[in-house]
Amino acid sequence: MPFLDKYFQQLVDLLDGEVTIDQIKVVCVLVGAYPAALGLRFIRKPELRHLYNIAASLFIFLGVFDLLDAVRILCVNSLVVYLIMLNIRNHWGPKLSFIFLLLHMSQSHIYRQLLAVSVSEYDATGPEMVIVIKLSSLAFCIFDGQNLNLKEVKVDQESEEQSLNPRQKTSTNRIIDSSIDITKYTPRQLKKAVPVNKFPSLLEFFGFIFYFPSVVVGPAVEFEDYRQWATSSGEFEKMPDDFGFKQAVSKLWFGFFIIAMSFAFGSRYQIAWTLTDEYKKLNIIDRWLALVPDSAFISSGLCLKVL
């Protein structure tokens, strides 16, 4: 049992048992991610940023939730996809990765249903759903980079060489083979494609997988966004130190409001209740009003608790 459980249980007791200990843990982890993320602003070396993310995520899964299964599932899924994309450099690479991820996730959910795991209990299927999005997207982005023969090169600030984002003067440019017809690709594909000369190392890869601000309930991030952020390159090279702070605080306060609404009404209106005869007898207005708390719960990012 995690050594922090006694403190979480005290919070549950203060709320008269209206919420479960896992719900309290999720809220504390999401709120605690804010001050923990500030530490990343003082770390400039990419390798240390990767290690920081991995260490923080391991603390969350092992020290807070006692979920060794989650760590095992994330590592197995990640290694399988990594080996597939490293060795299969054609269209079957992302396809096989996608099929494997969906089959493994389906197995996890079926196993959860067979065990009748409570909807209020946080288990390994939560982070697995996030990782399926991240890994499947990464597999296709690597494939796009191979098709485009995309390379990232370092250039002088005053270089006039054309890049995918010519308005931004950075010390790196993304160069596409001139023989490639880029009109066949969407702007998002061009932006998120992984350069062939930037295939992730294992440390960078697992730093991306265990990026702790989104490892619990998401949202999923794109690998190129993570890589450029970790290395302070591309779109993140000229970011000011206070970038995103005000936006993060505003989201935090809104999140507190949604969490309060969820705690106040979530236990009163359960999704399972919508399948009962009592709910079927309600008129359309009453049905809508009954579903408002559930909608707030889903919007808060804690929907993994009730779905």
CB 95 within 8 A of CB 142: no
Whether residue 130 is found in the same domain as residue 233: yes
Give the phi and the psi of residue 151 in degrees, each rounded to 5. -135, 145
CA distances from 289 to 204, 269, 294 (A): 46, 10, 10
| Torsion sign, CA atoms 158, 164, 165, 167 | positive
Angstrom CA distances, 44 to 18, 41, 211, 237, 239, stand at 43, 7, 16, 11, 13
Looking at residue 294, its pLDDT comes to: 44
Same domain, 294 and 247: yes
Same-domain status, 29 and 177: yes
For residues 157 and 258, membership in a common domain is answered with no
Can you give the pTM of this predicted structure? 0.76
Which of 113-127, 155-169, 195-209, 292-306 bottoms out in mean pLDDT, i.e. has the lowest?
A: 292-306
CA 56 to chain centre: 14
DSSP character at residue 200? P
Indicate whether 207 belongs to any domain: yes
Instruction: Give residue 213's Cα distance to chain centre.
Output: 8
My answer on whether 233 and 259 are in the same domain is: no
Using the 3D structure, point to which of 190, 218, 239 is the last residue of a domain: 239
Question: Which residues does 10 contact at the CB level (< 8 Å), separation at least 6?
Answer: none
The last residue of a domain, from among 218, 239, 260: 239
So what's the pLDDT on residue 164?
47
Would you say residue 103 has pLDDT above 80? yes
Total domains, the chain: 2
Verify that 124 and 264 share a domain, yes or no. Answer: no
Residues 258 and 235 in one domain: no
Does a structural domain hold residue 295? Answer: yes
Residue 286, φ and ψ in degrees, nearest 5: -65, -35
> Comparing C-alpha atoms, which of 10, 1, 26 is closest to residue 306?
26
Query: Residue 15 falls within a domain, yes or no?
Result: no
pLDDT digits (tens, 9 = 90+) for 160-196: 444 444 434 446 677 887 788 888 888 888 888 898 8
| 219 prior amide bond cis, ω within 30 | yes
Structural domain boundaries, residue 255: 242-307
Residue 16 belongs to some domain of the structure: no
User: 92 and 107 in one domain?
Assistant: yes
Q: What is the pLDDT of residues 29-74, one digit of tens each?
A: 888 887 888 788 788 899 999 999 999 999 989 888 888 988 999 9
Last residue of a domain, one of 239, 262, 287: 239
